[in-house]
Structure 1
Amino acid sequence: MKRHPSGPIVIAAGGTGGHLFPGQALAQELRRRGRKIVLMTDERVQRFDKLFPEADIFEVPSATPSGGGLVGMVKAVPSIIAGIARSIAVLQRVKPAALIGFGGYPTLPPVAAAIVRGVPCCVHEQNAVLGRVNRLVAPHVHAVASTFEAPKFLKSRDASKLVLTGNPVRDAVIAQADRPYQAPQSNGLFHLLVFGGSQGARVMSDVVPGALALLPQEMRARLRVVQQARPEDIERVRGIYEEAGIAAELASFFDDMPERIAAAHLVIGRSGASTVSELSVIGRPAILVPLPHSLDNDQKANAEKFGSAGAGWMIEQKDFTEEMLSSRLQTLFNNSGELVAAAQAAKKMGQPQAVRELANLVEALGRGDYHPLRDRAAKNAAIESGSTNLNFAAGGA
């Protein structure tokens, strides 16, 4: 396929926030650089189309193999093939400079089409575990951008393609990055934020309200809770808080979540890649409850990285009980120094430059002047010399 260096950048991202938010962050940065954006995703994009207001959006058929076995894979094949055909047609029409996939099965057809058509292509891995689609396409793409230095399941044959960019966060998150953490004062208000990712998590509604109700009355009076809950759970959760005398604001979705994170003394949530990245850039301590039974335990790996850095505490869902959580919260209530230390550790993990690094990579691919070995050597030299300019040698902005 003929190169089109000035063409649009195609972002392929699945219809969940964990994949779309990094894509949105990249789109915002590329738009500032004057690039046109094309988004290719699945039917769930209707919930998130406002995240890409200036992009041309194409819905692409896809399917996730159910059950993980051969039968599930066979059932998914027709939709994947249809998605590849649709993606090839889109690429022929828009003539992109490059394509980047953000993982998940909805990105497989666009990435496969880019490989077939010879469109410069890379993938980004947000988690500490390389996802199955990214593992599948890694031998065939030009680069594997990563949040972590050594994502699990990256094969040695593909290690030379790894580019440590970090996980891009949205402009709204960057806007809160300089907001300092204010430690809770003794006898002052304690702001607690509870959420379970872009689609909610029932376990938060099942456990957190009851755990808070077990706290001593003096602590309950100090609490100011903001909690995301599924629509069908809101009234049940509200009733528990009202009976316990706890002030709570509930909604099924908050469109100002970065501000909510910045205002919190403590966050309780899942450990998806976007959540961990946003907590780190803003610098807030968290109790993380990984989604159980997720493919390859990627959320557990993320939470372990966060916890081992001293930024928070992981509680596996099987141990996430009202009594256990209430006890942990009482300890933190009485130890603001522990919260401050965790907030500082989270901040050290932050990668606010990630979106620039990833945009540099994608643009270099589009120009045809990205060379992994040369650019890695240039970056290493910059680090050794103490330079903060880590842009790709081949024309980073």
Structure 2
Amino acid sequence: MTSRGSSPIVLAAGGTGGHVFPAEALAAELTGRNYRLILFTDQRGCAFSGVLRDVETYRIHSSSSLRNKIPYFVRSGFKLALGLFQAIHLLRKLNPCAVIGFGGYASVPTMLAASLGVYPTLIHEQNAVLGRANKFLAHRVNNIATCFTVVEGLPETISSKVLVSGMPVRSGIIDYQNCDYHTVTPESPFHILVIGGSQGARVLSDVVPASIASMPEPIRQRFKIVQQCRPEDIERVHATYASAGLNAELASFFDDLPVRLAAAHLVIARAGASTIAELTTIGRPSILVPYPYAINNHQARNANAIDEAGAGWVLTESSFSVEKLRECLESLIRMPSVLERAAANAKALGEPEAVKKLADMVVRLIRDANISDGCVA
């Protein structure tokens, strides 16, 4: 059996929360198993939390696109080459026992260097359609972990290396996985949580407050709103709610999001992979408005999986109007049994053990490569 001494496991992640949050969850799990970790990210990866905040970190040059147009190709090709050489040098120095990527362009130089260096490799795909970065890497890595049983864009020729792990969520979400859904009664407050993903969503600030403000007062006064907004939108959103006599709680970021999610009767959100995983782990019904410009339209596919399971409802951004949302909310607040059923269906989709499954895959990857557990601190 080959030994790499005190070799680390390298995690390659960066970009948006959908790529970073599962890396944070895996980092916490592997640290709990006494594995030594190192993070490779790009210049954007500067606001990590949890275990990743304290992990030894290297910043690798990467491209922000893999477009075919010549100007983009030249620019991105130069950055990719520079990042590749950086990653090759660092991997030779660190001699990791495994390299794990979480998609996004930040992971490409590291995962490509790892495959060229014959290090054990695994990539994690968060969405229901294979992302461009992971599609580029799929044939080059040893294993692919997915969140969905069916992932559009995965070639059948590599099906033997595909394993379903589910989407790891942060420990704070796991803490509320057994929190019951509170029944809505004709007199009770109706708690709505509005979240726009790690970067917020202006359309939610445009539509949700105006829709609720336009409702009849007896219904409107039952709503208790917690809404994530972009900093530049908070003042106008507050003014809209205040004009309707509502004291909504607004912030650009909520440190206690798991608590807010557990308290919600309904969530209005984008359909990023992390949002879907958190909704299904705790089990909350949702109205999803997929980001229409997501690469490969992956948010629409994520949302459709929720819709098909009866765990929520999908409104395209083009149909997400003040009138349409008011119609949906007025209907749902009168049908508590429908909300309870959707909450149960969401819960049934959840994979609370996903992070343990993914960590087990990493451990098997190392052992299958005949590397001793020198990765363990």
The two structures have a TM-score, normalised by structure 2, of 0.95
CA contact (8 A) 1:3 1:119 kept: no
With 326-335 and 68-77 compared, the bigger mean Cα shift is at 68-77
Q: Secondary structure of the equivalent of 1:226?
A: strand
Q: Secondary structure of the equivalent of 2:248?
A: strand
Question: For residues 68 and 337 of structure 1, do their structure 2 counterparts lie closer, same or farther at Cα, with a shift above 3 Å needed?
Answer: farther
Structure 2: how far apart are the matches of 1:3 and 1:108?
Answer: 27
CA contact (8 A) 2:289 2:317 kept: yes
Letter in 1 for 2:188: G
Q: Secondary structure of the equivalent of 1:48?
A: coil
1:162-203: CA deviations, max 9, x gaps? Answer: 101111111111101011111222111111000110110111
Q: Secondary structure of the equivalent of 1:317?
A: coil
Letter in 2 for 1:14: G
Tell me what 1:286 maps to: 286
Tell me what 2:178 maps to: 178
Answering whether residue 207 of structure 2 is matched by residue 207 of structure 1, we say: yes
Tell me what 1:311 maps to: 311
CA contact (8 A) 1:270 1:288 kept: yes
Alpha-carbon shift at residue 15 of structure 1 (Å): 2.2
Answering whether residue 368 of structure 2 is matched by residue 368 of structure 1, we say: yes
Alpha-carbon shift at residue 95 of structure 1 (Å): 2.1
Question: For residues 27 and 354 of structure 1, do their structure 2 counterparts lie closer, same or farther at Cα, with a shift above 3 Å needed?
Answer: same
Within 5 A, what are the aligned runs for 1:134-173? 134-173=134-173
Tell me what 1:384 maps to: none
Structure 2: how far apart are the matches of 1:6 and 1:355?
Answer: 23
CA contact (8 A) 1:9 1:38 kept: yes
Structure 1: how far apart are the matches of 2:213 and 2:262?
Answer: 25
Within 5 A, what are the aligned runs for 1:60-139? 60-65=60-65, 69-139=69-139
CA contact (8 A) 1:97 1:120 kept: yes
1:314-353: CA deviations, max 9, x gaps? Answer: 1000000011001100000111111000000000000011
Q: How many residues align?
A: 369
CA contact (8 A) 1:223 1:247 kept: no
CA contact (8 A) 2:103 2:134 kept: yes
CA contact (8 A) 2:129 2:153 kept: yes
Question: For residues 54 and 65 of structure 1, do their structure 2 counterparts lie closer, same or farther at Cα, with a shift above 3 Å needed?
Answer: closer
The two structures have a TM-score, normalised by structure 1, of 0.90
Within 5 A, what are the aligned runs for 1:1-397? 4=4, 6-49=6-49, 52-65=52-65, 69-368=69-368
Higher relative contact order (CA 8 A, sep 6+): 2
CA contact (8 A) 2:176 2:258 kept: yes
Question: For residues 58 and 49 of structure 1, do their structure 2 counterparts lie closer, same or farther at Cα, with a shift above 3 Å needed?
Answer: farther
CA contact (8 A) 2:12 2:111 kept: yes
Structure 2: how far apart are the matches of 1:105 and 1:45?
Answer: 12
Tell me what 1:376 maps to: none
Structure 2: how far apart are the matches of 1:229 and 1:66?
Answer: 30
CA contact (8 A) 2:121 2:143 kept: yes
Letter in 2 for 1:136: F
CA contact (8 A) 1:14 1:104 kept: yes
CA contact (8 A) 1:270 1:291 kept: yes
With 251-260 and 337-346 compared, the bigger mean Cα shift is at 251-260
Letter in 1 for 2:84: I
Structure 1: how far apart are the matches of 2:8 and 2:186?
Answer: 54
CA contact (8 A) 1:288 1:315 kept: yes
Alpha-carbon shift at residue 113 of structure 1 (Å): 1.0
CA contact (8 A) 1:15 1:43 kept: no
Alpha-carbon shift at residue 144 of structure 1 (Å): 0.7
1:282-305: CA deviations, max 9, x gaps? Answer: 000000000002111100000000
Identity value in percent: 44
Alpha-carbon shift at residue 369 of structure 1 (Å): 5.1
Structure 1: how far apart are the matches of 2:58 and 2:256?
Answer: 26
Q: Secondary structure of the equivalent of 2:290?
A: coil
Structure 2: how far apart are the matches of 1:64 and 1:219?
Answer: 46
CA contact (8 A) 2:27 2:51 kept: no
CA contact (8 A) 2:24 2:50 kept: no
Letter in 2 for 1:26: L
Tell me what 2:373 maps to: none
Q: Which runs of 5+ in 2 are unaligned?
A: 371-377
Structure 2: how far apart are the matches of 1:77 and 1:144?
Answer: 25
Q: Secondary structure of the equivalent of 1:46?
A: coil
1:132-151: CA deviations, max 9, x gaps? Answer: 11111111110111001120
Q: Which runs of 5+ in 1 are unaligned?
A: 371-397
Structure 2: how far apart are the matches of 1:274 and 1:325?
Answer: 23
CA contact (8 A) 1:225 1:249 kept: yes
1:1-48: CA deviations, max 9, x gaps? Answer: x76275221111122111000000100100110011111111222122
Alpha-carbon shift at residue 73 of structure 1 (Å): 2.2
Alpha-carbon shift at residue 119 of structure 1 (Å): 1.1
